[in-house]
Structure 1
Amino acid sequence: MKLKFSFSIIAFFLFLNSFSQSKEYEVIVSDLSNPWGFTFLPDNSILITEKEGKLIHFKNGKKIEISGVPKIYLRGQGGFLDIELHPKYKENGWIYMTYASSEGKGNGGNTALMRARLNGTQLINQEILYKATPNTTRSYHFGSRIAFDANNHVYFSIGDRGNRDVNPQNITKDGGKIYRLNDDGSVPKDNPFVNVRNAKKAIFSYGHRNPQGMKINPFTNEIWSHEHGPKGGDEINIIKKGKNFGWPKASFGVNYSGTKFTNKTSISGMENPIYYWTPSIAPSGMVFINSDKYGKWKGNLLVGSLKFQYLTRCILKGNKVFKEVKLLKDIGRVRSVEQGLDGFIYVGVENFGIVKLLPKE
């Protein structure tokens, strides 16, 4: 009897040990619909954009809805998109947001960049820094992610708005671009196309399809971005000033029908991706692990997959993806990924919430 009891105790502790080893995440914020973007305030509370048009402040275990958010054009892939704090937020209080907006001429909407301040439970001092034109009722490829460099330039992406044959390769038109502004919305004097007649002066790079991930590499200070391909050909790119990234003249993907729209995967004078996925994983959100919380994972790049519902850990050798490891398999559509002030990785999952990625023991 004692021997049987002893084996039961051992089995119980073995079960607990295996359970703790298999647990990959901890739920931090539950019951979110589509946490498109989120960012951490200095007190470790979280500002979360819900695509449907809500701004949530998660503090002390409670979700507080912020009033005064901009009017959101909610259609298809369009809605309330990314959110980032100014690098000197403690000094100036500026919060930057991208969203689909119907402001301006024409039916439909296009992507806008706004900054505002948070006063209690209300957004104040709202300033629209950029609004892409023209509005269109096409329901896809709004982008959009935000990043800041060491000089406080703000970068943001806008997808081609479903007009691949016109927008991405034309620097006189919005769409299919990554833009750079000063933090007050003015155009930097050294932007690549400031002296080109009729060009959109805010453009930093062009020839993009629909970039939904962008981060400054903390180890090299380069701008990394990924974008959705068509059927196949999702890309990771290192963004360079004034460069053409090829869409749609060069791509590793094909039309959704399976037919080709180009026979080129590389064109002289255009930038090649450093990595691509075929089949497409539908990437959204990205972050570099820049803390010691995850041991040997430091320096890896994390990318969310909407299509296959996991987080991929990209192991890098220099500027090349050497290997991928799937994390959080089947957790749901991974929309956003950030590193918190505490050094842990947090992941926004559609129809679920925000979870903390737990280090492996």
Structure 2
Amino acid sequence: MKKTFALSLFATGMLFATTLVSAQTINTEKATLTLEKVAKGLEHPWGLAFLPDGRMLVTERAGKLRLVNTDGSLSAPLAGLPDIEVSGQGGLFDVLLHPDFANNSKIYLSYNEPSSNGSSTAVVLATLKEDRITDLQMIFSAAPKFSSRHHFGGRLAIQDNQYLFITLGDRGQRRDDAQTLDNHHGKVIRLHLDGSVPQDNPYVKNDAGLADIWSYGHRNIQGAAIHPTTGELWTHEHGPQGGDEINVARATYNYGWPVITYGEEYGGGKIGQTAKEGMEQPLHYWVPSIAPSGMTFYLNDALPGWKNNVLVGSLRYLQLVRLELDGEKVTHEERIMIGQRIRDVRQGPDGAVYLLTDQADGEILRLTAAK
């Protein structure tokens, strides 16, 4: 277990025109940065993906998918989305390009899928065609469906151009489900890119769990990124009141929720304990909670001193959090004040860092090195 508490200030940037607002200068520990607004008018944006032609795809939790042009203008909502239940924390979540997008125009979308028995996180593979998506193929639907407005997870990550990871939440009232392997609540899922189950998944030949489960004991994972050197999946998840944590999600590992946590019940009250044999300690955790969302490894030299750092958005403290690493140990934390709830964090093809702000009139911000 590693524990770090630190503060500082951060920002964001893009290939895009930035005429929407004058730039803001932000001083950080490593460099002076420029924060610019490149798009606005998004309704609680949740996830983004960069297209080869320089545009971006952005999801809005309210159930809309838009293209963002290089001048910052927004397309009309794209047609062809599946039925989406928008309720509480539920709606349209992440978007991710297929590794062969340049040839097949395929994208992945995660969302809250409705049914007569409630709803759950689902993923479709679809084709992007100009102003619509087509050829929808359902490749995952979490079970069981449940009537809850909370804890959907919903982040997507691709490993080695072969495997799709899907992060899930415990659905709030079903927290104990995270400790059993007969359901998808509080799990990480691993699939082939076409949605089929890899034969080397841990429970394929072991009926102790569902064949698509990779890891378990999670509360609500809203950050996922592949480590640039090891190729492993790193995740972060919301704790209750305290206890947000970063983990490396490994096959069959139990990350403890709700048996172990560094958080407590809302309004006070102990939940379980902080350690137990057979359950993983986090690499890093936060008390009090920062409400993390979005995560990326920064791999460019464009922002001085940030290469190979982990960047995490904070919904609660309106910050971007920068973590320095030594292997799997967090050695330093800097918090950079943005002043808005940060829902997603991505590195752009230009080396800038892009942030989505979680609000009714949400924005895309870009962080670059000051000239």
- SS state of the match for residue 102, structure 1? strand
- SS state of the match for residue 166, structure 1? helix
Deviation at 1:165, TM superposition (A): 4.1
What is the aligned length? 342
- What does residue 117 of structure 1 align with? 127
Deviation at 1:87, TM superposition (A): 1.6
- What does residue 73 of structure 1 align with? 85
What is the alpha-carbon distance in structure 2 between the residues aligned to residue 74 and residue 52 of structure 1?
A: 6
2:286 corresponds, among 263, 274, 277, to 277
What is the alpha-carbon distance in structure 2 between the residues aligned to residue 340 and residue 320 of structure 1?
A: 26
RMSD of equivalent CA atoms: 1.9
Deviation at 1:320, TM superposition (A): 1.4
- SS state of the match for residue 189, structure 2? strand
Deviations 1:249-277 (A, max 9, x none): 11111111211121x21221121110000
The residue correspondences of 1:75-90 to structure 2 (distance < 5 A) are: 75-90=87-102
What is the alpha-carbon distance in structure 2 between the residues aligned to residue 236 and residue 353 of structure 1?
A: 26
Decide whether aligned partners of structure 1 residues 66 and 195 sit closer, same or farther in structure 2, where only a CA change above 3 A counts.
same
Q: Which has the larger radius of gyration?
A: 1
Deviations 1:44-77 (A, max 9, x none): 1000000000001112422112111111111100
- What does residue 241 of structure 2 align with? 231
Tell me if the contact between 1:230 and 1:255 (Cα under 8 Å) persists in the aligned partners: yes
Tell me if the contact between 2:176 and 2:258 (Cα under 8 Å) persists in the aligned partners: no
What is the alpha-carbon distance in structure 2 between the residues aligned to residue 243 and residue 98 of structure 1?
A: 24
The residue correspondences of 1:157-176 to structure 2 (distance < 5 A) are: 157-176=167-186
Deviation at 1:356, TM superposition (A): 0.7
Does residue 247 (structure 1) correspond to residue 278 (structure 2)? The answer is no
Which amino acid in structure 2 is aligned with residue 70 of structure 1? P
Which amino acid in structure 2 is aligned with residue 71 of structure 1? D
- What does residue 13 of structure 1 align with? none
What is the alpha-carbon distance in structure 1 between the residues aligned to residue 169 and residue 89 of structure 2?
A: 11
Higher helix share: 1
Tell me if the contact between 1:160 and 1:175 (Cα under 8 Å) persists in the aligned partners: yes
| Structure 2 unaligned regions, length at least 5 | 1-21
- What does residue 229 of structure 2 align with? 219
The residue correspondences of 1:92-107 to structure 2 (distance < 5 A) are: 92-103=104-115, 105-106=116-117
1:193 corresponds, among 203, 209, 212, to 203
Higher relative contact order (CA 8 A, sep 6+): 2
Deviates more, 1:206-215 or 1:161-170: 161-170
What is the alpha-carbon distance in structure 2 between the residues aligned to residue 121 and residue 174 of structure 1?
A: 33
Ranges of 4+ aligned residues in structure 1 off by more than 4 Å: 16-23
- What does residue 312 of structure 1 align with? 321
Deviation at 1:330, TM superposition (A): 4.4
Deviations 1:321-344 (A, max 9, x none): 1111122x1421100011112221
Tell me if the contact between 1:232 and 1:278 (Cα under 8 Å) persists in the aligned partners: yes
Which amino acid in structure 2 is aligned with residue 67 of structure 1? A
What is the alpha-carbon distance in structure 1 between the residues aligned to residue 147 and residue 315 of structure 2?
A: 24
What is the alpha-carbon distance in structure 2 between the residues aligned to residue 165 and residue 172 of structure 1?
A: 14
What is the alpha-carbon distance in structure 2 between the residues aligned to residue 196 and residue 116 of structure 1?
A: 32
What is the alpha-carbon distance in structure 1 between the residues aligned to residue 174 and residue 127 of structure 2?
A: 35
What is the alpha-carbon distance in structure 1 between the residues aligned to residue 370 and residue 230 of structure 2?
A: 27
- SS state of the match for residue 91, structure 1? helix
Tell me if the contact between 2:23 and 2:34 (Cα under 8 Å) persists in the aligned partners: no
- SS state of the match for residue 305, structure 2? helix
| Structure 1 unaligned regions, length at least 5 | 1-15
- What does residue 5 of structure 2 align with? none
Does residue 335 (structure 1) correspond to residue 343 (structure 2)? The answer is yes
- SS state of the match for residue 266, structure 1? coil
Tell me if the contact between 2:175 and 2:257 (Cα under 8 Å) persists in the aligned partners: no
Identity %: 40
What is the alpha-carbon distance in structure 1 between the residues aligned to residue 218 and residue 85 of structure 2?
A: 22
- SS state of the match for residue 212, structure 1? strand
Deviation at 1:17, TM superposition (A): 12
TM-score where L is the length of structure 1: 0.91
